[in-house]
Amino acid sequence: MIRFATRLVRQFSSKIDEIIDIGKPSLSKGVLTICPTPIGNLQDWTPRQDKALFEADVIACEDTRITGFLIKMIRNKKLSNEQLPIPENPKDYDLDDDDFTIQDVIFDSTKQLQVKLPELNQQEITAADFNFYKQKKIEEMKERVTQEVKKQKEYLSEQDPLHFMGKQEYEEEEMNPSEYEVYGLTAPFMVYLKSKIAVAKKRKGRGVLISCHKFNEEKRIDRIIAMLKMGLNITLVCDAGTPAISDPGYQLVNKCIERNVKIDVIPGASAISVALSTCGFPTDNFTFLGFLSKEQHDRDENLRFFLKSPRTLVLFESPSRVHQTLLTIEKIFGETQELWIGFELTKKFEKKIRGKCREVYEMLTDPKVIRPSHLKGEVTIIIAPYTATYNDELRAEQFSTGNKQNEFYQEEEESIHNLIKNVDALQVAQAFGEKFRGSDREFNDVLQKALRISKTKATKLIVEVRHMQRIEQNLKKIRDRLGEREEYFK
């Protein structure tokens, strides 16, 4: 029974991911670290980010050139608040031929790799490497059958306490070299990759750089997770800001959660938090829209939706389209709608403007106020809630509506007073008094509101009504007594 269970596990050893996903989740040895990068000012770099970047085995970058240049600046301690241009020569941003070839090597199929690279040929692997992976495979399978073996032993112990059937022992069987493919990566490939990582850390002080951007993220997820499952630590970075926040990375994070990969997050720079904290608009309820659609109709519909649901809106825009976006905001929210706009945030030429939509537009189009050369990078726009507090046109409209309502109420009040003049207040109070069951104080309030009279006059009416009620009660008693006497004489 034990030998059968062992053989069954070996048959499915090449599909370990599927086995792991069944039952209780188990975390892999590798960790995916989400590491933010400065949005402009390199002095915002922290020791924790430094550790995550330089201790990682693999660095998944949105752009390997920008990340490589950032690593070089950090290593050389050239941290400033100026935007440094990316050099054209690859050697200037810490990349060499190995960094370019490793991209194809990692994300190519295993069979093609064995043909392309002699290092991946089975004959090139040493006996020590072979035994290492063989032992690792045996240990993995032993862990899989441990529970089954324990159950079988307990069962045999109960059924055969004197061991007439003999003892059952775990027997090692010869391993098949074709079984050395784990998580889609062959053992020879892992030897090759780890050797490249070791060389990169020794020569450059960091791990291997691979690209992971919006155009290839979906295709590379499986191999990245495979490396994590094999125990490699991977740090995910983007060009500027926090990965997965309006940047590539959310698909990879989602798949890592599904595949039980451990994820570590480092808090850091984000244009959203920087803008919200400095704009002065309400931040307890805001919506992030990212980049608006390029289609004008979709842009209009997206913004018009928030006319009925006032809240602070945050969006990104490119310098080439920021003027058109401001005109769109003006068309929908009005030219007096307050907004905030910021560009070159945290950098040397940082600019922040708050004002009415038309005023901000005129400032951006005036070269004396804003130089066109300074309007670059990612522009952040914050639209205040569409309420009278932040929109003069809406405030004036509400004021005009309020005046009309006041005039209507005044006319209604005058007509009511004219009707009340023709009513006998005592008769009305008497009619109310016969049906009213509350206290005199509550009765007083009712008369004041119904007859538009003062509290003193209402009190006098109540006194008269109560006096007339007492007279009526006494007359009723006299009638009752007279009626009893007439019945007696009859």
Q: List pLDDT tens digits, range 334-381.
A: 989 999 999 888 888 888 999 999 999 999 888 888 877 778 888 999
Strand locations in 311-409 (E): 312-317, 338-343, 351-356, 379-383
pLDDT at position 87 over 80: no
Contact 339, 383 (CB under 8 A): yes
- How far is the C-alpha of 17 from the C-alpha of 184, rounded, in Å? 10
Please, where are the H alpha helices in 34-96? 47-54, 64-75
Nearest-angstrom CA–CA distance, 404 and 348 = 52
| The pLDDT of residue 437 | 73
Rounded mean pLDDT of the chain? 76
Tell me what pLDDT residue 310 has.
85
How much is the pLDDT for 460? 81
**Residue 451: what pLDDT?**
73
Q: CA quadruple 344, 349, 350, 352: dihedral positive or negative?
A: negative
260 pLDDT band, cuts 50/70/90, is confident
Q: How many helices (H) and strands (E) does the chain have?
A: 18, 12
* 379-383 and 312-317 strand pairing: antiparallel
Taking residues 57-78, what's their average pLDDT?
87
At 289, the pLDDT band (50, 70, 90 cuts) reads very high
One-letter amino acid at 199 equals V
- pLDDT-derived band of residue 23, with 50, 70 and 90 as boundaries? very low
Which of 184-188, 220-224, 322-326 has the least mean pLDDT?
184-188
Phi, psi (rounded to 5 degrees) for 62: -70, -40
Secondary structure element (H or E) that encloses residue 234, with its range: strand 234-236
Mean pLDDT, to the nearest integer, of 124-132? Answer: 49
Is residue 397's pLDDT more than 50? Answer: yes
Examine the pLDDT at 407 and tell me if it is beyond 70.
Answer: no
Is the model's pLDDT at 177 over the cut of 50? Answer: no
| DSSP H or E segment with residue 208 | strand 208-211
Cα–Cα distance for residue pair 61/66, rounded to 1 Å: 9
34: nearest Cα among 267, 192, 309: 267
Phi-psi region of 260 (alpha: psi -120 to 50; beta: other; left: phi over 0): left
Q: Which amino acid is at 193?
A: L
What value does the mean pLDDT take over residues 260-273? 91
* Cβ neighbourhood burial of 392 (10 Å; 0-12, 13-18, 19+): middle
Exposure of 72 in the CB half-sphere (CA atoms within 13 A): 15
Of residues 384 and 1, more confidence is placed in: 384
Distance from the Cα of residue 61 to its chain's centroid: 21
Please tell me the pTM assigned to this model: 0.63
**E strands, 35-128, in order:** 58-61
